DNA sequence: TTGATTTAGTAAGCAGGCTTATAATATCTC
DNA sequence: GAGATATTATAAGCCTGCTTACTAAATCAA
């Protein structure tokens, strides 16, 4: 019975579990805000960068445009954002954050910050930076665009 | 404009992106096997531990029993597993891996191993262990059961 | 200018998570 | 034993991803 690497503690499984745990906790605490973690992510980009086309949003979020389309549908219904036409290109719809989004921002950010603090409790100082460096590297190494890929 | 922590590079977002990247790549390469990453995970547990009830499987996978139920539906349809009654408890259905699963195991494991190597390229030696330690810590810190929680 | 190609957004339909609710069976308590 | 409580699996219906396929508009090329 040679089973050298124990796969159920592998990188992929641990990443999956950690991500799910963070998402679950965030949504538990943001229930009263009515904000899911995917929607929170959209708001962060919109509030940082201003109105964006759905295509740009898809790039920033690293998801497919169709996924953005339906995410924005629900966020528009919930009153977080609006779609407005682009004066220069009749194909594009600019997604604009509404007042409600600005109002909720600090609140949600606090939830996220507290969550990260809880998540990292007991780890040595500097662990956060090591961790985020590694994650950034993994994302680049597995991205489709071959920019800055390390080997082969 | 005080925006100290740049949230779109936050831990949660990076984890989400890295996890999605790994899942995508795995499924691209495992297409010919017809195995999704969630299904691969089920097989790992079944082949390591033998037949399991759906409830136990849910615990190991850290997902809800209803999610297991539908996952197993699809895996049964695809011929990876079978449900069999438990002789000692008529409520439980034991999930058993079929030959097809054993046959595909090494193949899928190789895909996963190659993927991790690619993901970690360019990181210092020891990064994998630091990373998995941190992820395990995060998972424990955010789990519902208060066992081994660090503070508060 | 016309015709081909590219880009932006969306519909349909699937996988994999979730919450809430239900039925059947075990188990615990009195 | 009988009744209350737990546990096991599942149904219904939602959210967020995906692939594939389509329309409308912009852009490139001849």
Query: What total of structural domains would you count in chain A?
Result: 1
C-alpha to C-alpha distance for B21 and B120, rounded to whole angstroms: 13
CATH number at residue B57: 1.10.10.10
Query: Given B24, B44, B122, which is nearest A141 (Cβ)?
Result: B122
Residues B55/B92, Cβ–Cβ less than 8 Å: yes
Domain membership of residue A71 as a residue range: 37-118
Residue B56 lies in a domain: yes
Give the nearest nucleotide to B42, CA to C1'. C16
- Asked if A93 and A84 count as a contact pair (C-beta separation under 8 A), the reply is yes
- Structural domain contains residue A67: yes
B66 inside domain: yes
Give the whole-angstrom CA distance, residue A54 versus residue B32: 33
Interface contact flag, B12 A37, Cβ < 8 Å: yes
Substitution target in B7, B107, B140 with the highest count of A β-carbons within 10 Å is B7
Residue A7 pLDDT? 53
Per residue in A62-117, pLDDT (tens digit) is: 999 999 999 999 999 999 999 999 999 999 999 999 999 999 999 999 999 999 99
Q: pLDDT per residue over A30-52, tens digit each? A: 988 999 999 999 999 999 999 99
Q: Answer whether residue B148 shows pLDDT above 50.
A: no
Residue B36 belongs to a domain: yes
Q: How far does A29 lie from chain B, in Å, by closest CA?
A: 13
Asked whether residue B107 is domain-assigned, the answer is yes
Q: Is position A31 within any domain?
A: no
| Beta-bridge partner residues of A85 | A93
Which chain A residues are Cβ-neighbours of B147 within 8 angstroms?
A: none
Is residue B62 within 8 A of residue B52, CB to CB? The reply is: no
pLDDT tens track for B37-56? 999 999 999 999 999 999 99
Cβ atoms of A103 and A47 closer than 8 Å: no
The answer to whether position A80 is within a domain reads: yes
What residue is closest to C24 (Cα–C1')? Answer: B91
């Amino acid at each position: 019975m040679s089973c050298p690497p124990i796969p159920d503690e592998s990188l992929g499984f641990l990443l999956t579990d950690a991500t799910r745990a963070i998402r679950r906790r965030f949504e538990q605490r943001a229930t009263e805000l009515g904000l899911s973690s995917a929607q929170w992510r959209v708001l962060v980009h919109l509030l940082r960068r201003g109105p964006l086309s759905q295509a740009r949003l898809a790039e920033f979020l690293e998801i497919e445009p169709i996924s953005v389309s339906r995410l924005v549908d629900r966020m528009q219904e919930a009153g977080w954002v609006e779609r407005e036409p682009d004066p220069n290109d009749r194909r594009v719809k600019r997604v604009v954050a509404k007042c409600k989004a600005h109002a909720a921002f600090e609140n949600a950010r606090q939830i996220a910050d507290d969550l990260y603090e809880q998540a990292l409790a007991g780890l040595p100082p500097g662990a956060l930076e090591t961790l985020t460096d590694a994650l950034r590297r993994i994302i680049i190494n597995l991205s489709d665009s071959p920019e800055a890929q390390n080997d082969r």
